[in-house]
């Protein structure tokens, strides 16, 4: 596949469409395919997701771009476990927040960072609109 082509995202989706089939009936993560990204949501104790993903990757000879991968554990405990996730022999970094299609989701499911971002953007737009109506020329 050629990255940046018009058919690239469609061919990618056709290529990875069976990614959820590898998990079988005992472990069904929620899988979101969008453009050239895959997002998997799963309960950690429910299955060994990383082993199944590695098997799928080996079967299709598709490697992961670890720099674009991350793990977000949703947990509201103060002392969160630091669990390392390895995929393809490389550690996937654990993050405290992700930006998912302009929505900031943090590990405690608090939306204050997202709200602050929206307010900041709204203030910037309001300032631009204000500049359009305020004239620096004095009328005598």
Pairing of strands 103-106, 90-92: unpaired
Handedness of CA 118, 123, 126, 132 (dihedral sign): negative
Label each residue of 18-63 as H, E or C: HHHHHHCCCCCCEEEEECCEEEEECCHHHCCHHHHHHHHHHHHCCC
What is the per-residue pLDDT for 75? 74
Single pTM value for the model: 0.61
> What's the rounded mean pLDDT across residues 12-22?
73
> What are the pLDDT digits (tens) for 84-105?
777 777 888 888 888 877 888 8
Nearest to 120 by CA among 136, 137, 102, 133: 102
Neighbours of 37 (CB within 10 A): 12
């Amino acid at each position: 596949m050629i990255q940046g082509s018009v058919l690239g995202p469609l061919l990618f989706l056709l290529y990875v469409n069976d990614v959820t089939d590898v998990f079988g009936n005992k472990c069904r993560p929620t899988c979101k395919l969008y453009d050239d990204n895959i997002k998997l949501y799963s309960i950690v104790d429910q299955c060994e997701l990383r082993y199944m993903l590695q098997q799928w990757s080996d079967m299709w000879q598709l490697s992961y771009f670890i720099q674009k991968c991350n793990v977000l554990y949703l947990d509201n405990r103060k002392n969160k476990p630091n669990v390392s996730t390895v995929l393809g022999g490389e550690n996937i970094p654990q993050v405290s927040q992700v930006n998912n299609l302009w929505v900031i989701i943090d590990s405690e499911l608090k939306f204050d960072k997202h709200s602050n971002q929206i307010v900041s953007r709204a203030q910037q737009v309001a300032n631009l609109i204000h500049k359009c109506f305020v004239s620096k020329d004095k009328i005598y």
